[in-house]
Structure 1
Amino acid sequence: MLAHSAVRAGLVAALLVCSSAAAQSFDPSALKLLQAMGREPTTLARYQYLIHEEPSLRSSDQVLALQFMSFSQDELGLYDQAVFSFPLKDDLPEDLKLPTSADWKSADAVDTIVALAAQRHLVMVNEAHHDAHTRQLTLELLPRLRALGFTYFAAEALGTDDPDLAKRGYPTRKSGTEYLRDPLYGDIVREAIRLGFTLVPYDNGLNGQARENAQAQTLYQTVFAKDPKARLFVHAGYAHIDKATGRLGDLQPMALRLQALTGQVPLSIDQTDFLETGLDTSDAYHQLEHTFPSEKPEVLLNRQTGQPWSARPTAYDVNVILPPSLTLDAFGKYKYGYRINGEGAPLPQVMDHNEMQRANWLSLDGKRRPHSIGAELCRGTIPCLVSAHYFGEPNDAIAADRYAIMGFNESTELYLRPGRYRLRASGSDGHTLSESSIDIAPQ
């Protein structure tokens, strides 16, 4: 497995926002790869391009291609595949001692964070951009923090080119960066609008310290300079939530800069130091999960003081540990593979029915129900993308859920809230292959 630091992941993530960052960070061959990706008409087409090109790239460019393949898989609903493709592992502190059950106990992450946030004006939660599971916590926190009086919600993926977003009630492709195309991220934005949050775009096309400074300055000017008593909830990437240097090298993270501008000490919540990245049970994540098993996102509280555990107490306040969900059944319950021919079309190797399993956490504690889909929706064109759109929303709206079907024999499930949907299958060029209406009944 590959091991990458959050620093490199953050730099790569910035490329999705601004090509000038790429020009500063990558050599001509990498830039050529990025430019070729940018010419592809859809995420599915970009994913196919990367599959086709990656084996012939030199090793340094292969790493870059694999990272972008992972981002694409996440956007296409291939959530487990995305994590397996990019097994991100932070470099943990050398002197770190993992907590023991004698001194620490498990507690519900949402309940604990809400209690910690009661007297705060600034709460920050991070995500790993390729791991949609790290978006579940923010989705669950939104109504709880709104009830506490938080009225502003800032999300790194939001852009400034969609002034009608809040009025319309749902995000589209022009609402932000490509991360927003993940249905879970779209769900976060929809929920924030429904709850009456004021949305705050704050990311920029910069890189390095200039990016951290500009992010903090935008949040300060947009929120606290106008409303000093404001309560702001921020959903950010990786180490931008840190209140000390370290994970970004010598850079001062956005949270540290914002604290200096506002005088408000953020409640910083980390989800990326301890992530499930594969099936190796010897890593720190699995050691924690084995000691403190839980079916929900959890934090650890000291049995004597009640204080939450943080692996980096100067940088952030608490670690959230997500329950394990990865399975090789995400690749099919039969041995399966495909190859790309000269025209870029996948060819099936196994013609048996092949169920592609998706994680149970996608039910969002029963709020969403599974709906079966299969390759027959693709009308003979493989690969294809099957998307469920809320009824009445256009094709460029962020889907309620979607999944890229890569083989003629594949089937899987979409996870959808009760209601009516427009089920659409489209090819790599974005053209519609089939369309129908479905109704998801309440439990």
Structure 2
Amino acid sequence: MILASRAVFLAALLVSASAAAQSFNPAELKLLQTIEHEPNTLARYQYLAREIPKLSADDRVLAMQFVSFSLDELGLYDQAVFSFPLRNQLPSNLTLPTQTDWKSANAVDVITSLAADRRIVMVNEAHHDTHTRVLTLELLPRLKAMGFNYFAAEALTDSDPGLAKRGYPTAKSGTEYLRDPVYGDIVRQAVRLGFIIVPYDNTLTGQARETGQAQALYEKVFAKDPHARLFVHAGYAHIDKVAGRLGDLRPMAMQLAALTGITPLSIDQTDFLETGVDPGDAYHQLAHEFPSSGAEVLLNRRTGLPWSDRPAAYDVNVIVPPSLSIQAFGVYKYGFRNDSMVGGLPHVDDSNAMQRADWLSLGGKRRAYPVDGALCRNSLPCVVDAYYADEPDDAIPADRYAFMGTKEATLLYLRPGSYRLRAKNIDGTTVSEYTITVAQR
């Protein structure tokens, strides 16, 4: 089962937002084969960190992509984006909107309104940027209340038929993307809200993958339930309704529309994506012109219609607010007070603070809980996982952070409730474990 999910994960790399397919040279194949056999994400990251200096400049591109995925899975979200600043090639005739003709609006509100008379809604993500997963989390309750009853997620596979009954995902539920706690939260919330969960990805590549995805969604949803309403969380250009961003490939959404006769509402978050702190790129120009504290879309002041820089491919561009900070690498110091800890956890005064983005609070639904490298018991690097108290250790954790140094300190973001904090070293050995309670405000 795990090998199958890894195959899907690797297949996903063959089709990116900017290229239809990718072939691997011997050095890259060796890299892929080696990391596939690493016992856990932390071990994979450490292996890549050692090997990257030995690789040629061309071979480093693939390695850095895997580094970004690993960092994302380890809860090092800003570091993941900084390590692989992926930028789509934008249309050559692009003219960015200005406030003269456009105004900002809340993305969730606008998408909910646009979805009122639609049967299929698709939202995409950048796989290494967890910030692009928050929109789906926010849309789930709104779309369910409107009558959407099926939820399909690209990271899920057919390997876990007990998921819906159990209520939480495990590593066996899907690909490596699912090991990100925020992705796990998406699946938990979809199950809790009563969505019928639909795995639909495959291990194919190129056009066969796009065709297989569309066929799976048709057969699992609309062929069985002609009145179904489907919410799809996908990657990159799979949501496109015309060819272009995947070269000559016919994207999944385009083919699903042909199979069902239903035109999807397609929402893009990857064309204008925060990839660094360069104030001159298109993303930062838009974020500066239309400042917002949450995900936004732009509406035409005359027509009220949403802006899309590729209107044939998708309906709406979503712009998430800037959140990247070099302080994620620990550039300033502060100390945690003893009474800020719960359950007698060890603490480190004068710790090197590894900042995490405020969006992890999910609009106040999760509370910040301080932790530090002392949990690792001098067995570094180590990963600290926060598991829901009523879920076993193979569940996807509620949050996670990887410590590389003893005097590092950071914040976990957790919903109110009881948790087990478990620290594991690179061998997967548990070095410490504590029970904590995150109180209501």
TM-score, normalised via structure 2 length: 0.92
Post-superposition Cα deviations, 1:244-269, rounded to whole Å, max 9, x if no partner, equal 11100111100000000000000000
Separation (CA, whole Å) in 2 of partners of 1:322 and 1:273: 11
Residue by residue over 1:219-256, the C-alpha shift from the partner in whole angstroms, topping out at 9 and shown as x without a partner, is 00000011111000000000000001110011110000
> In structure 2, what is the Cα distance between the partners aligned to 1:376 and 1:20?
36
**Cross-structure match for 1:210:** 208
Letter in 2 for 1:52: R
Count the aligned residue pairs.
Answer: 416
2:87 aligns with one of 86, 89, 105: 89
CA separation of 1:279/1:198 partners in 2, compared to 1, >3 Å: closer, same or farther? same
Task: Tell me which residue corresponds to 1:162.
Answer: 160
Amino acid at match of 1:305: T
The aligned counterpart of 1:62 is 60
- Matched-pair contact (CA < 8 Å) for 1:17–1:177: no
Residue 189 of structure 1 is matched in structure 2 by 187
In the other structure, the counterpart of 2:311 is 313
Does the 8 Å contact 1:21/1:205 carry over to 2? no
Whichever residue aligns with residue 287 of structure 1, its letter is Q
Residue number in structure 2 paired with 1:292: 290
Q: d(CA) in 1 for partners of 2:294 and 2:277?
A: 19
Match of 1:243 in 2: 241
Letter in 2 for 1:368: R
Equivalence map 1:110-129=2 (5 Å):
110-129=108-127
Task: Name the structure 2 match of 1:341.
Answer: none
Gaps of 5+ in 1: 1-12, 336-350
Measure, in 1, the Cα distance between the counterparts of 2:219 and 2:394. Answer: 31
- Tell me the distance in 2 between the aligned counterparts of 1:128 and 1:20: 12
* Contact residue 8 and residue 204 of structure 2 kept, 8 A: no
Check conservation: 1:14, 1:21, Cα contact below 8 A.
Answer: no
Whether contact under 8 Å (2:124, 2:239) holds in the other structure is yes
- Name which of 352, 360, 363 aligns with 1:362: 360
The DSSP-based 3-state class of the residue aligned with 1:244 is coil
Task: Quote the offset at 1:16 in angstroms.
Answer: 2.1
* Residue aligned with 1:371, SS: strand
Structure 2: which amino acid aligns with 1:260? A
Aligned to 1:228: 226
Deviation at 1:150, TM superposition (A): 0.3
Retained in 2: the 8 A contact 1:180–1:186? yes
Give, in whole Å, the separation in 2 of the partners of 1:26 and 1:190.
Answer: 36
Classify the secondary structure of the residue corresponding to 1:234: strand
Q: Which moved more, 1:425-434 or 1:355-364?
A: 425-434
Q: Distance in 1 between the 2:391 and 2:160 partners? A: 16
What CA RMSD, in Å, does the superposition of the two structures yield over aligned residues?
A: 1.7
Inter-partner Cα distance in structure 2 for 1:15 and 1:172: 16
Match for residue 131 of structure 2? 133
Amino acid at match of 1:414: L
Tell me the distance in 1 between the aligned counterparts of 2:386 and 2:312. Answer: 43
Pick from 340, 363, 379: which aligns with 1:381? Answer: 379
Match of 2:26 in 1: 28
Instruction: Deviation per CA, 1:168-215: give whole Å up to 9, x if none.
Output: 000000000000000000000000000000000000000000100000
Which residue matches 2:9? 16
Name the structure 1 match of 2:18: none
Matched residue, 2:390: 392
Preserved CA contact (<8 Å) 2:94 2:309: yes
**What is the CA-CA distance between 1:60 and the residue it aligns to?**
1.8
Q: Distance in 2 between matches of 1:139 and 1:407?
A: 32
Alignment check: 8 A CA contact 1:165 1:171 kept: yes
User: Which whole-Å CA distance do the structure 2 matches of 1:248 and 1:362 have between them?
Assistant: 31
Deviation at 1:18, TM superposition (A): 4.5
Q: Secondary structure at the match of 2:49?
A: helix
Task: Letter of the 2:233 partner, please give it.
Answer: H
In the alignment, is the contact (CA less than 8 A) between 2:8 and 2:201 conserved in 1? Answer: no
The answer to whether the 8 A contact 1:403-1:414 is kept is yes
Question: Once structures 1 and 2 are overlaid, which stretch shifts more, 57-66 or 199-208?
Answer: 57-66
Letter in 1 for 2:372: G
Contact kept? 1:183, 1:402, Cα under 8 Å: yes
Q: What SS does the corresponding residue of 1:112 show, helix, strand or coil?
A: helix
User: TM-score, normalised to structure 1's length?
Assistant: 0.92
SS in 2 for 1:118: helix
**Partner of residue 351, structure 2:** 353
The alpha carbon displacement at 1:396 in A equals 1.4
- Matched residue type, 1:297: A
* CA distance, structure 2, for counterparts of residue 310 and residue 160 of structure 1: 34
1:198 to 173, 196, 221: 196
**Contact 1:106–1:300 under 8 Å retained in 2:** yes
Query: What corresponds to 1:144 in structure 2?
Result: 142
Which residue does the alignment assign to 2:406?
A: 408
State the alpha-carbon separation in 1 of the partners of residues 164 and 315 from structure 2.
31
Q: Which residue pairs with 1:76 in the alignment?
A: 74
Whether contact under 8 Å (1:17, 1:204) holds in the other structure is no
Counterpart CA distance in 1 for 2:25 and 2:54 is 17
% same residue: 69
Match of 2:337 in 1: none
Contact kept? 2:240, 2:254, Cα under 8 Å: yes
Paired with 2:152 and 2:224, the residues of 1 have a C-alpha distance of: 15
Q: 1:15–1:21: 8 Å Cα contact kept in structure 2?
A: no
Shift of 1:394: 1.7
Q: What amino acid is the match of 1:149?
A: G
